[in-house]
Amino acid sequence: MHQLNLHRLATFQVVAKHCSYSRAAEELHFSQPAVSAQIRLLENSLGVRLFDKIGHKTHLTPAGEELYRYSEKIFALIDETIETMDTLRNPHYGHLRVGADTTVGTYVVPRVLGKFRQLYPNVEITLEVVNRGYLVDDLSQNRVDMVIMGKIPTELPAFVAPFAPNELVLIAPPTHRLAGCKRIPFAELAREHFLLREVGSGTRSALEQAFQNAGYPLLVSMQMGNNSAIKQSVAAGLGIALISRVAIDIELETNRLVILDAEGFPITLQWRLVHLKDKNLSATARAFKNFLLQNSEIPPALST
């Protein structure tokens, strides 16, 4: 198999640029015989003549002209590669790929990314906001650098650190029979029909666990895939729901929803930063990880 030696190709490129062995030798700080030897080795490895000597002038052969065009592309690509590697060592440039579950990804992470962008304005950021199942798949397939989620993916070897508390509250329309009541007994909650998130949701799991611990059956009205649908349906009187406190600021301000003061609630969970334990984070991803943990509302924990 023919082999293309980059050192010989670089020598060829200088000779071709000047169409002169002597001027190439001066630029490369080689002896002229050394330059000639490199060209002969390159010609032998490729099996073609690259230069013709006509009188006192050196000319490229057709093969030499083609090789010169390709050599320019090759060394341009090498320069681009080196520049890209330099960029990856620099946290102020590069591409950050973050995943987040639907609640934290909608109401918390954009604010954090905005602050990070102020420090690193040239970083290209991709935010994937999906449910937990997709996040675990994104991690396993290396489609994201890290994710922010509630329920830890035990099926993957991962670094996990707490990021922020996730306070889950019960919501109802202001006209609901329990609105304004103090310390509502669990038995009263058990009479209500609940709107639930999809199977696998941390919020749904927390509600199911609360009812199981209290020894009451959970009456389900409807299942929905996002917080917006939950809030609209609660406001329409289709049931009550457990939802993250960060998701209802506007609804509370406009008095479309109220928080129920009930026994066993609110429930406080945690959102966590997660990435594969063996993931080689880029300089940009490392900078974001440090920024995230330094600005978290929970002291950083050791990886698990």
What is the CB-side half-sphere exposure of residue 31 using CA atoms within 13 A? 3
Residues 198 and 219: their CA atoms lie apart, in Å, by: 15
Mean pLDDT of the chain: 90
Residues 112 and 292: their CA atoms lie apart, in Å, by: 8
pLDDT tens digits along 218-256 = 999 999 988 999 999 999 999 999 999 999 999 999 999
- Residue 184 DSSP class: B
What string of H, E and C letters represents the secondary structure of 102-127? HHHHHHCHHHHHHHHHHHCCCCEEEE
Residues 128 and 135: their CA atoms lie apart, in Å, by: 8
Structure tokens at 185: 């007994």
pLDDT tens digits along 76-86 = 899 888 877 77
Q: Which of 138, 145, 22 is nearest to 39 (CA)?
A: 22
Structure tokens at 83: 């520049």
- Residue 256 DSSP class: S
> Which bin fits 61, alpha (ψ -120 to 50), beta or left (φ > 0)?
beta
* pLDDT at res. 198: 86
Read off the pLDDT band of 295 (50, 70, 90): confident
Read off the pLDDT band of 304 (50, 70, 90): very low
Residue 141 has pLDDT above 90, yes or no: no
266 upstream amide cis, omega within 30 of 0: yes
Contact 71, 7 (CB under 8 A): no
Helices assigned H by DSSP within the chain: 6-18, 21-28, 32-46, 62-89, 102-107, 109-119, 132-140, 186-189, 202-214, 227-235, 249-253, 283-294
| Helix (H) / strand (E) containing 178 | none
Residue 297 has pLDDT above 50, yes or no: yes
pLDDT tens digits along 71-115 = 999 998 998 888 777 767 778 888 899 999 999 999 999 999 999
Structure tokens at 151: 């329920």
Look at residue 96 and give its three-state secondary structure.
strand
Look at residue 136 and give its three-state secondary structure.
helix
* pLDDT at res. 82: 83
Read off the pLDDT band of 2 (50, 70, 90): low
> Tokens 């749904």 appear where?
204
* pLDDT at res. 1: 40
Read off the pLDDT band of 65 (50, 70, 90): very high
* pLDDT at res. 282: 87
Residue 302 has pLDDT above 60, yes or no: no
φ, ψ (nearest 5 deg) of residue 154: -70, -15
